[in-house]
Amino acid sequence: MLLLPALNAMIDITTSRSVATQIHPPLVIFAMLCVLALASSLLAGYSMAGGRSSSFWIHMLAFAVIMAVTVYVILDLEYPRLGLIRVDAVDQVLVDLRESMK
């Protein structure tokens, strides 16, 4: 009786994990993320256009890099098997566990 609840909990966790990796937000969420990045870039560029200082290029470059990295990390976290953030090691642990149970 001690093994059955633990085994049931493990099966529930693996099922919910596999479902979570297969379900993604709708395409409109990604479109709104791109629109938000473009709108904030437009507003930042519009506010910087009034001044004629040569030090604005550092701010423009920093803003572009921060926005690009933010969008990339959000997309990379959403699809963990495609980008730089990988979950292959976690998958290998589950495969090894399944092999040891046979």
Identify the DSSP state of 23: -
Per residue in 2-40, pLDDT tens? Answer: 788 888 888 888 888 778 777 888 888 889 988 998 898
pTM above 0.85, yes or no: no
Identify the DSSP state of 50: S
The type of residue at 60 is M
The type of residue at 26 is P
| Domain chopping of the chain, boundaries | 25-101
In which region does residue 46 sit, left (phi positive, over 0), alpha (psi from -120 to 50) or beta (all else)?
Answer: alpha
Query: What is residue 54's predicted lDDT score, i.e. its pLDDT?
Result: 65
Identify the DSSP state of 55: T
CA–CA separation, 45 and 57 (whole Å): 11
